[in-house]
Amino acid sequence: MPLICMFILPLFLNAQNNKKLVVLSEAETFSPLQIVNIICQSTGSVSVKDGNGREYFSSPASPLISFMAGGATGKHTVTLKDKKGNFVETSEFFVEAKTNIDDGAK
């Protein structure tokens, strides 16, 4: 993964209109406890708030940040702050709890 961080991620970020914070996702929503990957091209700190606005994850900024989606379902907000605590950028993703029960009935 380090080689990807060094070479691919900066190119991906440039393609995303020079955003410093991007949530990587192949689907429209995440499930609770699913791993969320964020690429970040800045220093400072990153925090994540759930659908009720409660922070459930924080980390120093790094090129690749991974965590499990948690907290309340709905729109989750990722916030990037610089080393002085000043707002830099936000990104969003959605968490939706889906039932996938298959009892084998026809």
> Residues 63-89: pLDDT tens digits?
999 999 999 999 999 999 999 999 999
Structure tokens of 31?
């499930």
Q: How many CB atoms lie within 10 A of CB 39?
A: 23
User: pLDDT class for 12, splitting at 50, 70, 90?
Assistant: low
Q: What CATH number labels 2-95?
A: 2.60.40.1930
Residue keyed to tokens 């994540």: 48
pTM, two decimals, is 0.79
Which residue has better confidence, 58 or 18?
58
CA distance 23 to 53: 18
